[in-house]
Each structure stands twice: as C-alpha cells, then as structure tokens.
C-alpha cells in the first residue's frame, strides 16, 4: 500500500469547518425548537414537514465539518 493512498483530501480549512459546524448547530437548534412549537401548538402533520429543512441544513453542515469537505 502506497503512502499516497493514506492521504486525506481536505477541501476546507479550520475556519470554514468552524463556520459549517456553527451553522449546523444553529440549524439543529432551530429545527428542534420549531418541531417542539409545532407539536405543542397542535399543528397539522403536513405543516410539521417544515422541520425537514433546518434539520437537513444541520446535517449537511455538521457532516461537512466532520468530513472536512
């Protein structure tokens, strides 16, 4: 096995990883808070699908931060 196979391709620096991590945490907080409010308010299930978007953004930000891509 060559040493080139063990090298990771890192596309973003530490500053951008931190930005994406913060974005992910904020989006996750917004998503959880929104879900809580919608459930407590008794919103229709179809309206609760709005929670998908901030949770999706949170997942993208946190995964990109972790994988350094």
Residue 34 forms part of a structural domain: yes
Domain that holds residue 20: 12-67
Quote the CA–CA distance of 52 and 44 in Å, as a whole number: 15
Judge whether 13 and 3 are in contact, CB under 8 Å. no
List the one residue out of 37, 34, 27 whose CA is nearest residue 51: 34
Residue 53 forms part of a structural domain: yes
Quote the CA–CA distance of 20 and 25 in Å, as a whole number: 9
Residue 49 forms part of a structural domain: yes
For the entire predicted model, the pTM comes to 0.79
Q: How many domains does the chain have?
A: 1
Q: What is the pLDDT of residues 37-67, one digit of tens each?
A: 999 999 999 999 999 999 999 999 999 999 8
Residue 7 forms part of a structural domain: no
């Amino acid at each position: 096995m060559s040493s080139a196979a063990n090298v990771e391709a890192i596309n973003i620096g530490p500053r951008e990883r931190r930005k994406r991590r913060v974005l992910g945490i904020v989006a996750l907080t917004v998503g959880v808070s929104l879900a809580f409010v919608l459930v407590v308010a008794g919103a229709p299930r179809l309206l609760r699908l709005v929670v998908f978007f901030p949770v999706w953004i949170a997942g993208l930000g946190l995964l990109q931060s972790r994988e350094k891509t």
